[in-house]
Structure 1
Amino acid sequence: MKTEFHKYLTVFRKQRGYTQAQLADKLGISRSTYANYESGSRSPDFETLERISDILNCTLDELFGRQRETEEGNHENLCGGYTETACESVTPYRAEGEKSRRQSKRKLLIGAQDFRYLRERNAYYVDKTQFVEQFLDSWYQVTLITRPRRFGKTLNMSMLAEFLDCTKDSEALFKGTKISKSEVIDEINQYPVVFLSFLNVRGDTPHEMIQQLTVALQGEYARYYPIINAGTLTKEQKRVFDQNYLCLCQNDSPEEKAGCLTHAIADLCQVLETYYNKKVYLLIDEYDTPFIAANSGGYYSQVRGLLAGMLSSALKGSSSLEKAVLTGIQRVAKENIFSGLNNLIVCTIADPDYDDCFGFTEDEVKELLAYCGMEFTESIREMYDGYRIGKADVYNPWSVSCYAARRELQSYWVNTSENSILKDALGERGRSFAEDYDKLIEQGAVEAEVELSAAYYEKPGDAALWGLLINAGMLTISEKIDENRYRLRVPNQEVWKAFGELTSYYLRKRESMSFFSEKYSELMDQFGISKKMVLSTAENNIVSSRMMSVIQINGKLYFQTDKTFRKYRQIVQNPNVSLCIDNIQIEGRCKEIGRPLENNEFLQKFQRCFPDSYKRYSLLENEVLFEMTPTYIERWVYIDSVPFIEIYDVSNEEYRLDEYKGR
């Protein structure tokens, strides 16, 4: 159906204050691709649509021209008359006084993740309010729930916050839901709540991530700012609140913001407890996003202290906490955020807790499709069913909702950007994983050791990779065999299609890695045991070069230097260096591994190859040994008098031969 999506996209972008270039960067696409979206010459896929709606804080229906009701009950038409909808089964919101069967029919708001927004617009809602009762009845102070993306985590957290928050009036929103028939309804809007979403806390640099983290906390500080002048808080509490809020709002340096962020959540909880005379509920959605993004971006070590400190102080160091719930795709165990918590429950998809709260049951799917005038068929079950969470069999809620809206049985959930994480992980694994992976593809199921208690990047290994595939929704558990051993299977046809692409990539990668290994071994054999090479180091935009005696051991390069020398300081400051000789340039990363005397293999080879240098320097007290791990190598070669560049991308285990074309 023809839409005016491009016009609404332009309006929402301008309203939110983004340029085309800024929004393209946030989406991770080229600026020309984004410009084509706004010109109408190209349409984004569903994955990109959802990201656009998240960034612009609007629903997919609004992006396709749905009218949005204003507080006065009138229609706000953002584009001057365009009112086309995303799908014909969805009807526009109407003022209460207007009568017609079509007008009174509830809408299907694809992409809406705000509970109040959804309920106030009389949208179709698959009732998951049992989540509230299960959470309040739990004996655990801190709850961590891991589920695949798009399984309803954000909407459930929004619903929980709406129910608990004492600053809200939410009774009408829960009318007719399961929770309204429970005794728990008496607790509605009775507690102070801090609700944070880390969904967009990511970036290409530590500075960008810290800025996004600042934005996430800024909103809650702004929401509670009026209470500081109510006369209830101590002078010290007012000072700390003001200081934190000022730091969050001003354009301070990343270091200053990091110092404030570390204790900002705990400080806010303490202020709220004093003001309301009640302990605080802390809700953090997508808590693991910044950890994953920092690891992918290569700056994890620069923000790990901040992220771990902020969450640890809020969860372990705050006496103002009543309960906390965090959601994410996987557990972050490395930073000991949850260690020392005696009252913690981690609910993975293998556990029965909250098993019916995320994902649609078959009865819920049938009810939704009947409401949309559609039949439930075996094809729908084969396409979207198959997930086992705890003791519940559930469907992928995103895919089912999109199918109900578009009425086309196709893949909606699987996307290439998510698969990039899996591709990287698959490319790193060895022969043992390859055998089990082949069995999975051939038979549709496999028995394996699974690690669900830590993120893959923290604990790389076969068990953690199987855990990553489960947490990502690519596999599901069909049977528990032993403590950490499960029988796994691909859940449905939608995911099987993704495995086709993933397997094709994996086979190409394995072949490429095997070829690279051969070529790299040949290169190191030709390099030999030792070489005199030019070492280039850089510090504060100053590059220095000097001749070094280098030893090669098992594909890594070693050299020694005096720690009082400038080159030592440069390497410590910036461990990225290069070594050159004749037609070869080797780029890599250095690390100090002690004194030469402490490494017998190096010392023996160095003494044999460079006896004079050994006598003069190796036994000195200040002498230190560096190990360089190559990451990228270029070698110039001539084939039939034609110049070529051999490229060894060591980090990705890829080799290629490029003809030199000149400048």
Structure 2
Amino acid sequence: MRYCWLVLIILQMQMSISIMIALLKNINRNDKHCLMNYIDSAFFIVKEEKIVYNIKRDEVMDMCYLDTDIPVELFQRVLKKKIYVDKSMLIDKFNDFIGSEDCYFCITRPRRFGKTINANMLGAYYTQGYDTRELFKDLRIAQTVSYEEHINKHHVIYIDFSRLPDPCNSYEEYISWIKYCLQDDLKKGYGIEKVPGEPIQNLFEKTNEKFIFIMDEWDSIFYKDFMQEKDKKAYLEFLKGLFKTQPYVELAYMTGVLPIAKYSTGSELNMFREYNFMNDTIYEDYFGFDEKEVKELTQQYPKPSFEVLKKWYDGYYKSDGTSLFNPRSVSLALQKGKCKNYWTETGPMNEIAEYIEHNVDEVREDIVKMVAGIPVEVELEGYAASQLQLDSRDEILSAMVVFGFLSYHDGLLRIPNHELMEKFQRVLKRKSMGGVADIVNNSKNVLDATIALDGQKVAQYIEEAHDREIPFLQYNNENSLSCVITLCYLYARNSYEVTREDKSGKGFVDYLFTPKKKGYPAIILELKYNKSVEEAIDQIKKKNYVERVKDFDEILLVGINYSTDADEHKHHDCIIEKYK
């Protein structure tokens, strides 16, 4: 009996080995981890996920870039996510240009706006290496005329330029690895050997094939410390040689954060059409979520509500002025059921903060105005971030738009939403912001004095802020006064929803403080310029500004006036009343 069991075990092992051999023969894997997922499924049946694409090659060829399964695997993962918004009609847009003279596209957007997801989608759709119809059959692209014409009909070169060899301490190591991978793929796929000194484009020509190039994060190498000016020029020349007027290019799609033109001083890559946040009227629907898409998502996942999501993550604009949301933050909020700041702390935000801190006063003034809710007028058309060494106001503000920290429409700059507002408020607290930081860090005392009904103390704090002689806080209009009030009450935003010029009752209130926590009074604050605090309080009462906060047990009315004719050391007055 014991021997019978032993024979059965041996037979099972042989069957398992046969299964593994069959898998190895029929699965083309670039990634050992992915292969192990398949082996796990075959041996242990621990996964019930449906394999939604089929292998078309007859043998295993460990490709780096040529018809690799990387975009297929990554796009399949996206489709399995809880939150997915169908952007597949972007494919139909590009299908029209395959094989034409106008087949070069560079689309730049801030990080987290869907560039890589779309790159993976395009790679998965076009590749000849795999049958991916199961991935696309339920997407909008499947209903188009061009769908069958191009799905799995093209050789795809997919390169993620942000992936570096290990080690990588120089541009030469970086570009040598990319060239080696391309040469090795063409050798495996077509048996083409490289002659020493032969340019890479010659190898592509020898294949007598045409290729679609999908290149993600093309500009990522520019952020590396080892990159020098000569390296940047060499990189542009490499891309020029690979793409410009090459008959083997059917379509070239590049993504990045910063535009090509701002790196290139000549005509190296002028064949690419560039589309960014400020000039894109054609592909803007495919990067970010619009209001309709977010509303549809909240019907499936009701928490957080659409209104809360809009406050936190809206604030970007399409060319027609309609809303655009940060897609990554919306997705994470719906997955976690909670709005919070999902913007990463590292990277360009810290770099931009340094430019705000150490550069021209104009930029700091603009930021303070926008934190106060005042849009900044600026003409950014024609500007973009050419490098990370930014010198002028226009360059710094342009970089903030490119990185997604500010929104720009109709000549006006704004801080887009609550998520980014939190970031800028933190920047204002940094010691290197000098007098501005001192005012902000004293703002808790201003709020405490307000709640204690100590109008004299509030006026004193505001007077001290004014006396710091920060150039852009010297009052010449009511907006300047508003900036000082915003800084003086910045701490209040921890416990209050603070809105400016909110339509309420019969007019507009300058500041409305709506408590987010129990135990805090609602506050209505009215500013006057060369008038009186009594007029401010009287206006609050006559125009029924309390309508918006009538449900709170305690309401404070605050009137503040700035007088240019007052005594040299007392320009501000403040009175605070409890509403009865």
Provide the TM-score with structure 1 as the length reference.
Answer: 0.51
Deviation at 1:58, TM superposition (A): 8.5
Residues 482-521 of structure 1 aligned to structure 2 (within 5 Å): 486-505=411-430, 508-509=432-433
SS at match of 2:194: helix
Deviation at 1:287, TM superposition (A): 0.7
Shift in alpha-carbon separation, 1:353–1:331, aligned structure 2, 3 A: same
2:263/2:386 contact within 8 Å kept: no
Shift in alpha-carbon separation, 1:311–1:387, aligned structure 2, 3 A: same
2:244/2:271 contact within 8 Å kept: no
CA RMSD, Structure 1 to Structure 2 (Å): 3.6
Q: Distance in 1 between matches of 2:259 and 2:414?
A: 22
Deviation at 1:192, TM superposition (A): 2.2
Corresponding letter in the other structure for 1:270: E
Residue equivalent to 1:289: 220
State the Cα deviation string for residues 168-218 of structure 1 (Å, max 9, x = none): 3222211111110001112112222211111234999752x4434444555
Q: 171, 185, 198: which one pairs with 2:161? A: 198
Shift in alpha-carbon separation, 1:58–1:331, aligned structure 2, 3 A: farther
Q: Distance in 2 between matches of 1:429 and 1:76?
A: 61
Q: 130, 134, 147: which one pairs with 2:93? A: 134
Corresponding letter in the other structure for 1:123: K
Residue equivalent to 1:307: 235
Higher mean C-alpha deviation, range 340-349 or range 113-122? 113-122
Residue equivalent to 2:290: 361
SS at match of 1:287: coil
Corresponding letter in the other structure for 1:193: V
Corresponding letter in the other structure for 1:437: I
1:146/1:347 contact within 8 Å kept: yes
2:108/2:276 contact within 8 Å kept: yes
Q: Distance in 2 between matches of 1:343 and 1:416?
A: 34
Q: Distance in 2 between matches of 1:395 and 1:58?
A: 34
State the Cα deviation string for residues 394-445 of structure 1 (Å, max 9, x = none): 2111111211222221111242333222123324521333333332222342
Deviation at 1:95, TM superposition (A): 4.7
SS at match of 2:141: helix
Residue equivalent to 2:48: 94
Corresponding letter in the other structure for 1:395: F
Deviation at 1:289, TM superposition (A): 0.9
Residues 339-488 of structure 1 aligned to structure 2 (within 5 Å): 339=267, 343-350=271-278, 351-372=280-301, 374=303, 376-391=305-320, 393-450=323-380, 451-457=382-388, 460-479=391-410, 486-488=411-413
State the Cα deviation string for residues 340-398 of structure 1 (Å, max 9, x = none): 66643210112212101111223322333443464633111101112113345221111
Residue equivalent to 2:254: 326
Corresponding letter in the other structure for 1:280: F
Q: Distance in 2 between matches of 1:323 and 1:170?
A: 19
Corresponding letter in the other structure for 1:473: G
Shift in alpha-carbon separation, 1:445–1:120, aligned structure 2, 3 A: closer
Shift in alpha-carbon separation, 1:94–1:121, aligned structure 2, 3 A: farther
1:142/1:345 contact within 8 Å kept: yes
1:384/1:396 contact within 8 Å kept: yes
2:236/2:269 contact within 8 Å kept: no
Q: Distance in 2 between matches of 1:203 and 1:488?
A: 41
Higher mean C-alpha deviation, range 491-500 or range 330-339? 330-339
1:280/1:323 contact within 8 Å kept: yes
Residue equivalent to 2:152: 189
2:215/2:255 contact within 8 Å kept: yes
Between the two proteins, what is the percent identity of the paired residues? 23
Q: Distance in 2 between matches of 1:299 and 1:226?
A: 31
Q: Distance in 1 between matches of 2:219 and 2:165?
A: 10
Residues 622-633 of structure 1 aligned to structure 2 (within 5 Å): none
State the Cα deviation string for residues 3-62 of structure 1 (Å, max 9, x = none): xxxxxxxxxxxxxxxxxxxxxxxxxxxxxxxxxxxxxxxxxxxxxxxxxxxxx9999xxx
Corresponding letter in the other structure for 1:363: K
Q: 168, 171, 175: which one pairs with 2:133? A: 171
2:304/2:334 contact within 8 Å kept: no
1:70 and 2:47 correspond: no
Q: Distance in 2 between matches of 1:512 and 1:454?
A: 26
Residue equivalent to 1:627: none
Q: Distance in 1 between matches of 2:245 and 2:389?
A: 24
Q: Which runs of 5+ in 2 are unaligned?
A: 1-30, 52-69, 438-580
Q: Distance in 1 between matches of 2:117 and 2:178?
A: 17
Deviation at 1:324, TM superposition (A): 1.3
Shift in alpha-carbon separation, 1:452–1:268, aligned structure 2, 3 A: farther
2:161/2:221 contact within 8 Å kept: yes
Residues 211-226 of structure 1 aligned to structure 2 (within 5 Å): 211-216=173-178, 218-226=180-188
Q: 245, 264, 267: which one pairs with 1:336? A: 264
Residues 42-61 of structure 1 aligned to structure 2 (within 5 Å): none
Structure with the larger strand share: 1
Q: Distance in 1 between matches of 2:39 and 2:284?
A: 37
Q: Distance in 2 between matches of 1:288 and 1:95?
A: 35
SS at match of 2:193: helix
Residue equivalent to 1:637: none
Corresponding letter in the other structure for 1:467: S
2:289/2:325 contact within 8 Å kept: yes
Shift in alpha-carbon separation, 1:334–1:96, aligned structure 2, 3 A: closer
Q: Which runs of 5+ in 1 are unaligned?
A: 1-55, 60-67, 78-91, 98-112, 230-236, 244-258, 480-485, 514-663
Shift in alpha-carbon separation, 1:510–1:93, aligned structure 2, 3 A: farther
2:76/2:135 contact within 8 Å kept: yes
Q: Distance in 2 between matches of 1:71 and 1:366?
A: 41
Higher mean C-alpha deviation, range 465-474 or range 336-345? 336-345
Shift in alpha-carbon separation, 1:269–1:151, aligned structure 2, 3 A: farther
Residue equivalent to 1:154: 116
